[in-house]
């Protein structure tokens, strides 16, 4: 069950990477709208893939889950747009995913 759950979480990060490959202008536009350079979409893509792999490799789960929870918390700020219900749902989902990742981290904390 644990591996299946981690796989589903990892799939979210793979999907994020695929979205960035297929439509980098969307994520780049969000970044630019906040005053950040659009090219940061490429390092974000690499982080997404690294987190996905880290959630699947047993010896890296704890650190990857903590990093992924932090990533979700930070990236939620890009979606904090109270006038846009769609973006606010993504904002809330990011915090829910961060919470789940903290539970994964707690279950895999090194001795």
Give the Cα separation of 58 and 106 in Å (integer): 14
**Residue 19 sits in which domain range?**
2-107
Q: What is the pLDDT along the chain (111 residues), one digit of tens a residue?
A: 999 999 999 999 999 999 999 999 999 998 898 899 999 999 999 999 999 999 999 999 999 999 999 999 999 998 899 999 999 999 999 999 999 999 999 999 998
Query: Residue 97 contacts by C-beta under 8 Å, 6 or more apart in sequence?
Result: 9, 12, 69, 72
What's the predicted TM-score (pTM) here? Answer: 0.90
Residue with tokens 């890009």: 78
Indicate the number of domains in the chain: 1
Tokens of 47: 């982080």
First to last CA, the chain: 21
């Amino acid at each position: 069950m644990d591996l299946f759950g981690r796989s589903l979480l990892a799939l979210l990060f793979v999907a994020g990477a695929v979205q960035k490959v297929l439509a980098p202008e969307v994520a780049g536009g969000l970044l630019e709208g906040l005053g950040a350079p659009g090219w940061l979409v490429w390092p974000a893509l690499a982080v997404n893939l690294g987190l996905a792999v880290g959630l699947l490799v047993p010896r890296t789960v704890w650190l990857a889950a903590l990093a992924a929870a932090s990533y979700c918390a930070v990236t939620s700020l890009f979606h904090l747009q109270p006038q846009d219900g769609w973006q606010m749902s993504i904002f809330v989902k990011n915090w829910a995913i961060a919470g789940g990742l903290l539970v994964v981290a707690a279950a895999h904390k090194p001795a």
